[in-house]
Structures are given as structure tokens and as C-alpha cells.
Amino acid sequence: MAKKTVDLISEFVDQKIIEENLESIVGERFGRYSKYIIQDRALPDVRDGLKPVQRRVLYSMFKLGMFSDKPYKKSARIVGDVIGKYHPHGDTSVYDAMVRLSQTWKMLTPLVDMHGNNGSIDGDSSAAMRYTEARMSAASEILLQDIEKRTVDFVPNFDDEEYEPTVLPSRYPNLLCNGATGISAGYATEIPPHNLREVINAVVKRIEKPDITIDDVIKIMRGPDFPTGAIVQGKDEIRKAFETGRGRIIIRSRTMIENQQIIVTEIPYEVNKAALVRKIDDIRIKKQIDGIDEVRDESDREGLRIVVDVKKGFDPQVIESFLLKKTNLTKSYNYNMVAINNKRPMLMGVLQIIDAYILHQKEVITNRSNYDLRRAEKRLHVVDGIIKMMDVLDEVIVLIRASKNKKDAKTKLSKAFKFSEEQAEAIVTLQLYRLSSTDIKSLQEEMRSLQETIAELQLILNNETELERVIVDELRTIQRKLATKRLTDIEEEIEKITISEEELIAEEQVVVGITKEGYIKSTSIRSYRATEEVTLRDNDSMIFVDEVSTLNTILMFTNKGNYVYLPVYKIPSYKWRDLGTHINNIVQLEEDEFIIKVLRINDFSEPKSLLFVTKKNLIKQTALADFDVSRYTKTIRAIALNKGDEVVAIDITDNPDAEVIIFSQRGEALRFNLNEIPLTSTTAKGVKGMNLSSKQHLASGIVLKNHHDLLVLSNRGHIKRIGVTEIPKKRRTNKGVQMYKIVRSNPHLVQDTCIMNATQYKNRVIIRINTTTQEVLVNAFDVKYEKSENGKQFVRPKKGTPLFMDIEQVEEDPSITPLSDYVREEDHEIVQQQLFE
């Protein structure tokens, strides 16, 4: 017995097992699910502009008699009725849909009139449904107008106990008036609201002139009209959206500036006001822009109002532009007009939507006219029978009195006087007072009225022009009842907000420090002066220390021919004793790439140029303006290099008639005019420097100034001071003059050069010599004209260690006698005495 039971169970289970490919099972079920959520959940119908849940909420309220002139009823009652009869889903989704229909900042024409807390533009949620009350708005009554006259199709509900409409009569074009938003499977829709008066005018124009174009429509229906107002920019994109269903517009807040205050009175559609205020305050706290003193939300029952207080000395216009660019005070909106048309999702232009609506209205008016015609004809038939009965009233009375019952009376009336079933029913149920002469007259008047009504209805049903006239007349009536003035202004062009970041920065003086290992920092002058010793890593030293403005720009050039463009205000701020941040945290350098020159630039429009000297005997001159860029998140090409070449020297000058000296490694020097080097772009390679043997390389180069001496640093730590006139002037590409004594073992090789003026000499400025292991500071006064051909040794570097030299810059004093005017003296004390007397 047990075995038999097991066999039966196994047989039953086997019958229930379906053997089918998993791919086809999932595909078929997902297809059904997709079809459901596309048609019956997320996308609106093009005819009434409603999703199923919205339609069911409004129809349920209609059936409950919750009209705009009736008392409010609890929202929970409505939600319960919707769930129980039409929408078998969670109460939250139904209530949320109903709340949205009541929110004046989301619906241009609200369809639900809610009493109580229905949320806010700050993103606050509504009160629970047990606390709020609701009823239909006047607009939603018009959407449902004539629904009881069989104007639309009805289908059974989920349990076949009720009937619900597949679409509402929608006596005005709700899809364009209130818009829609939704996400489905493979489809999404984003339709903005438009002004009801303009939409109806466009529909009427389309009926009256079927060949109307998009250009004609856009003159009538100017663009979206958001319930939050604001300003829409981009008329071309509106036209594109009207034509194709897709387009991108910009919504900009309505702002004004009063007494160092930026006042916002309207914000873009579906922007959370509280989040917007927080964002502006975050900008203030994080100092993304200087000048914002306070942000306040002063909104009240009078309307929206956000106030941004601007500090004195700052331009409110600049701060307003920054906020418009960086926050949701300006927001883009993308038209994506997808709706269900003929049970299919379609991307539609405005004319397609209007045509679908007009077709729907023709069906509604036709169905209503047929319904009214049937009722009028039926009533006319009855009235005609009663009037005929008056001619034989006495016989009718006798016949009825002689009848056994009502049924018998109706049968005798039909046989005796040829009355129809309906006429006989009306006669036997007629009240005696209706037999008075007054009522007879009223019946005759009703008969004439019914005949006129029937004639009008037949004309509507048989004449397309008359049908369209009725639609137009009724739309005009609704327009007068519901139309409101436009809230959103339309502007022709999208305004491009361009902000110079320098405008957002308060100018102040700071000290910038950069080390040869690439550590960089910005600090206040106070911190710099209060710190006796800077913190450096082992074997590192400073290659740039200068007091600069936050509006200046630092250019850092590398041996690879690249440069880093770094506005001073973007340099991280540290205390002077801190190490700072590495340049790779700002801009990534290559592994074997390092900084060889740092320049501070006040104004890129100044008539200056940069000189580049490369190891493989190329020199190039490029205008300073070419180095000004707007994007600088990575290194930028300053000079194109051949394979194996690298930059060895960079200098800047404002004198196109200046002279240049370039040095080879072995100490050959060539002096020539700067104008022999053509001005080329940052992507050029340059021209040949001097006549060198194939084994020689250039080591340095510098632009000369009048009355300056030249300091040359060798690999053995010697500084040689040279009067410029000692080097004969030649043409570019000539052979240079040997400045060092040639020796075979451990020769002096040029490492770096700089120039020194009399002011620096007198002020005993510091000459900084950097190696990879140490930094040596040399007093300029200690660098003399040496009898030795190789100069004086100031540092003893390890063999093969690269050296760099930099001299402290001071403003040149023209009253000091130039160095070049002094006659060379064997006794340096005579020169010293002349200088300091």
C-alpha cells in the first residue's frame, strides 16, 4: 500500500515537471513582465496622460462621490477602496501616487485636493493616510466628465466583480498639461508640464488647420511651464523636442541681487530646496568660493525665498554665477516623450500627441452623442405615446379600469391603440396629476426640445466638421475655467556661464616653497617669518622660495620638456615647517622626470618669451602667452624632444634685443643675439645652438642683461665669475670660446649658470648651490674675479653628482654703479671700497 502511494506521488510529480530550455522560460516570463510594467504601471496613456494607478485613484474617488464641492474624506478610505476594487498592490504605492497628484510644486494642474500635510518642496514626506483628507479637484472632475455615458471602454477588475475604465474621457489634454515621469523595462518617459491655455490653443489650431507645422505650434505653445516657475533656456532644443520627442533644455533659477544679497525666488522643477540650501552652505563651509557670509531659507506662505549674504568687498555677480554653475540653481531637463499609444510605447512629438488626443476626443464625443441620442429617442418615443394617449384618454381609462392587473392593462393598450411596450409602460405608470393641461403643454415642449436635440446629435454623428466644432467649443469652455497665467519664462539661447576661477579667489600674498625632490607648499607670510628652519627630507633642498600672490601662476619645467601649470591658489596650504605635498599628488610626473626650473608668472599677456636649451644642441624661443592654458590636470608639452634628448636650461626675458650665452659641457661658450632664435610654438623642437663635435653636449644657457656678470658652476663645485664682454659675440651655430682650462683627468664640466648685478653684489645676496646630498649657501660678495681659470671652489660634491645654482633675487637699484663699469683690480679691496663709500 505504501509503495503504491509512493508510485502515485512520483507519477503526479512527473506530470508536473516541465522540460524546457531555461533561456526560453526566462525570456518568455520576462517578456510578459516587461509588457505588464510598460503598459500597466510605469508609462502614461497618450489619451489621458495617466498611469493605471493614477487613473484608478481618480475613478475610485469619482465612484465615491468625492467631488470638488463635497466634504473631504479620509485618504485611508480612498486608498482602501482603490486597493480593494481596482489596484491589488501595496497601500504605499497608491497613497504616494495620490499625494503626488495633489502636490502643487509637481503638478501644474493638481488633480487631487488634499487637506493636511502632503509633503513639501524640501523633500519632506506627507503625513500618514490616516491623518490626511482628500477630494477631487475641479480639473480631475473634467477628466472624468461624461464617463457615465459609456464614452470609454470598461474592463473587469482583477477579481471580475467590478468594472474599471481603460482610459478616462480626459476632456482636456492632460499629458501635455501635467507631464509625466516614469521608468519601465527598456523605456523611460520624461514629459514636462505645459501651460493649459497654450496647450488647448494648440489643439484647437490643429483641429482648425490640420497642416499646422511645428513652427506654428511653438508660436502658440512656447515651451514647458513648470509649477515652480524659473527660466527655461534653449528655444532650439524645445523645437527639437516638439518635433522628435527628445531635447535638452536648461532650467535656471530666478534670482536677483539686492544690497550684497543674492535672492532666489524660483528654483528648477523637481529640485529639493533643502538639499539646494545645504549644498550652497557646504560651498561656504569648504570655502570653494570666498565671499559667502551666510545662507538662509526664508521661504514662507508667501512663497519661496533663499537668501545668500555676500561679504563686503566681493562681487555678488561673480558668486551668483558660480552658484548657478556649481549647484542645482541651474539644471538640465531632457525631454523624452514616451507614452502608450494603441497599446504600444512610442516616442512621440507634440503633433503626434495632439493628434492622438484629438482622435480620442472624437471617439469620446461620438460615444457620448450616441448615448444621448439613444436616450433622447427613447424619451421622445415615450412622450409621443403619452401625447397620443391624450386624444383617447376616456377609452384608455375605461380599458385600464377593466383590466385585471398592470400586465393585462399594458397588453390591452398595445392591442387596442398600437402602443409599444415602452409607451404602454409609461401610460399605466402615469400619475393622474400629469393629465392636467399644464403638463400636456410641458410634454409638447419637451417633445420639441427632444426633436431639436436629436437633430443636433445626428448632425454631430454624421458631420465631421460639426463634431470638431463641439470639441473646440468644449475645450474653450474648459480653458476659461481652468487656465492660469504662465509661470516659466522662455529664453531663446542657453546662457553659457563661464567663470574665471581667479575671480573667485581673494587676492593675498603667500610664500611658495618647492624642493628639488618635488615637494611643494604654500604658507602664510606670518608662518614663514615665524619659522627659523624649514623641514626637508634627507638629501633634499629648496629650489624655489618666493613671496607670490594667490592670483599668480607657477610654471614648473621638467627635464623631459614638459611643464606643470599650477595656479598659486591651488597649491595646498601648510605651515612653513611642514614638509608639504609631493607634486605627483597634484600632477603625475614620469619616473625619471624632475623639475629643473620654476617661474612665477603674473600675467601671461606680457610681451615675454622663454628660452629653452637642450642637451643635444637645440635651442628654442616660445612666447609666454603660449603657456597659458585652461586645463592643467596633467603635464603639458613645452618643447618637442628627440629621442635621448632632455632640457638642460630655461630662462625668461622681456627684451627681444637681448643676447644669449650657451655653454657646452666642456666650457665652450657662444654669445649671440636672441633674435637669431625664431619664435615657435610649444610643440616645436627648436634650432641648432653652436658648432659642436658629435661627442659634446650643451650644458646650460641664459639670457643676458646689461651690466651683469656671469656666474658659471662646474661639476667640481667651482664658481667662475666672468665679465660678459670676455666672451666675443658671434653668430648662432658658430664655434664657441673655451672658458675652462682643458685637462684630461677630472675636467671641469659646466653644470649651471646665472647672472649677478651690482645690487645683488652689494646686498650680499645668497647664492644657493644644490646637490643631491646637500645645500650650500654662498655670499655673493665672496664670488670674486679669480686668477684661476676655473674659478673658486665653494662645495665638494661627490663625483657624478648633478649641481644646480640659484641666486636670490632683489629689486635692482639703478643708483648703484654697474659691475661692468669697474676696472679690474688685483686688489679686490679697492673695488670693495668704491662700492661701499
Q: What is the pLDDT of residues 98-123, one digit of tens each?
A: 999 999 999 999 999 999 999 999 99
Alpha carbon of 477 to those of 473, 480, 495: distances in Å? Answer: 6, 5, 39
Element (H, E) at 15: helix 2-16
Instruction: Please name which of 706, 707, 711 lies closest in space to residue 739, comparing C-alpha atoms.
Output: 711
Least confident of 311-320, 450-459, 538-547, 588-597: 538-547
E strand or H helix at 554, and its extent?
Answer: strand 553-558
Q: Could you give the CA distance from residue 161 to residue 158 in angstroms, rounded to a whole number?
A: 8
Taking residues 12-20, report their average pLDDT: 78
pLDDT above 90 (res 13) = no
In the block, cell 478610505 appears at: 77
Q: Is the dihedral of CA 457, 463, 466, 467 positive or negative?
A: positive
Q: Are 132 and 116 in contact (CB under 8 A)?
A: yes
What phi-psi label fits residue 471: left (phi over 0), alpha (psi between -120 and 50 degrees) or beta? alpha
Between vectors from CA 726 to CA 723 and to CA 730, what angle results, nearest 5°?
125
Q: Residue 796's pLDDT is what? A: 84
Work out the pLDDT band at 449, boundaries 50, 70, 90. very high
3-state secondary structure of 394: helix
The predicted model gives 825-834 an average pLDDT of 47
pTM: 0.71
Distance in angstroms between the alpha carbons of the first and the last residue of the chain: 133
Query: In degrees rounded to 5, what are phi and psi of residue 50?
Result: -120, 150
Give the whole-angstrom CA distance, residue 410 versus residue 403. Answer: 9
Please compute the mean of the pLDDT values over residues 546-572 and round it to a whole number: 91
Q: Looking at the domain that runs over 254-328, which CATH code has it been given?
A: 3.30.1360.40
Mean pLDDT in residue range 604-621: 93
Point out the catalytic residue in the list 33, 36, 131, 163.
131
Question: In whole angstroms, what is the distance from residue 341 CA to residue 326 CA?
Answer: 39
Burial degree of 567 (CB within 10 A; 0-12, 13-18, 19+): middle
Vertex 88 angle, CA 82 and 90, to 5° = 85
CA-to-CA distance for 42 and 39, rounded, in angstroms?
7
Mean pLDDT (whole number) for 57-83: 95
pLDDT at 438: 63
Task: Dump pLDDT digits (tens) for 674-715.
Answer: 999 999 999 898 899 999 888 889 999 999 888 788 899 988
pLDDT at 780: 85
Q: Do 762 and 777 touch, CB atoms closer than 8 A? A: no
Delimit the domains of the chain by residue range.
1-30, 43-171, 254-328, 385-478, 653-837
- CATH superfamily label, 43-171: Topoisomerase II, domain 5 (3.90.199.10)
Q: Average pLDDT in the 782-791 region?
A: 81
Find, among 39, 30, 31, the residue nearest to 344 by Cα: 39
d(CA 687, CA 698): 13
Residues 485-524: b if buried by 16+ CB within 10 A, e if exposed: eeebbbeeebeeeeeeeeebbeeeebbbbbbbbbbbbbbb
Dist. CA 234–CA 803, nearest whole Å: 60
Tell me the helix, strand and coil percentages in the chain, rounded to 5: 35, 25, 40
Task: Calculate mean pLDDT across residues 729-734.
Answer: 90
Query: What integer best gives the mean pLDDT of the chain?
Result: 88
The SS3 call for residue 532 is coil
The whole-number average pLDDT for the span 86-104 is: 94
Is residue 357 predicted with pLDDT exceeding 70?
Answer: yes
CATH topology of domain 385-478: Topoisomerase; domain 3 (1.10.268)
Q: Are 347 and 336 in contact (CB under 8 A)?
A: yes
Q: Can you give 296-341 as a three-state secondary structure string? A: EECCECCECCEEEEECCCCCHHHHHHHHHHHCCCEEEEEEECEEEE
Q: Residue 500: its pLDDT value, please?
A: 65
Q: Strands, E, within 69-179: which ranges?
A: 73-74, 112-115, 133-136, 154-156, 163-165
Phi, psi of 542 (to 5 degrees): -80, 135
Radius of gyration over alpha carbons of the chain, in Å? 46
Q: At residue 499, does pLDDT exceed 80? A: no
Which pLDDT score, from 0 to 100, does residue 437 have?
A: 64
Q: What span, in angstroms and rounded, lies between the C-alpha atoms of 831 and 761?
A: 12
For the cut 70, the answer to whether the pLDDT of residue 1 exceeds it is no
Give alpha helix (H) positions in 437-562: 437-462, 464-482, 525-530
Average pLDDT score over residue span 242-271: 94
Is 574 annotated in the active site?
A: no
Is 629 within 8 Å of 555 (Cβ atoms)? no
Q: What is the mean pLDDT of residues 496-508?
A: 70
pLDDT band at 323; cut points 50, 70, 90: very high
The answer to whether 560 touches 568, Cβ cutoff 8 Å, is: no
Q: Residue 289's pLDDT is what?
A: 83
Residues of the chain with pLDDT > 70: what percent? 96
Residue 340's DSSP bridge partners are: 45, 345
pLDDT at 446: 87
**Identity at 543, one-letter amino acid code:** I
Q: Using pLDDT thresholds of 50, 70 and 90, give the confidence band for residue 428.
A: confident
Neighbour order of strands in the sheet with 73-74 = 73-74, 133-136, 112-115
The mean pLDDT of 156-182, rounded to a whole number, is 94
Written out in words, the top-level CATH class of the domain with range 653-837 is mainly beta
Q: CA–CA separation, 545 vs 536, rounded Å?
A: 13
Judge whether residue 836 has pLDDT over 60: no
Judge whether residue 462 has pLDDT over 70.
Answer: yes
- Predicted pLDDT of residue 502: 64
Q: Which helix (H) or strand (E) holds 720?
A: strand 718-723
Query: Which whole number is the average pLDDT over 539-567?
Result: 89
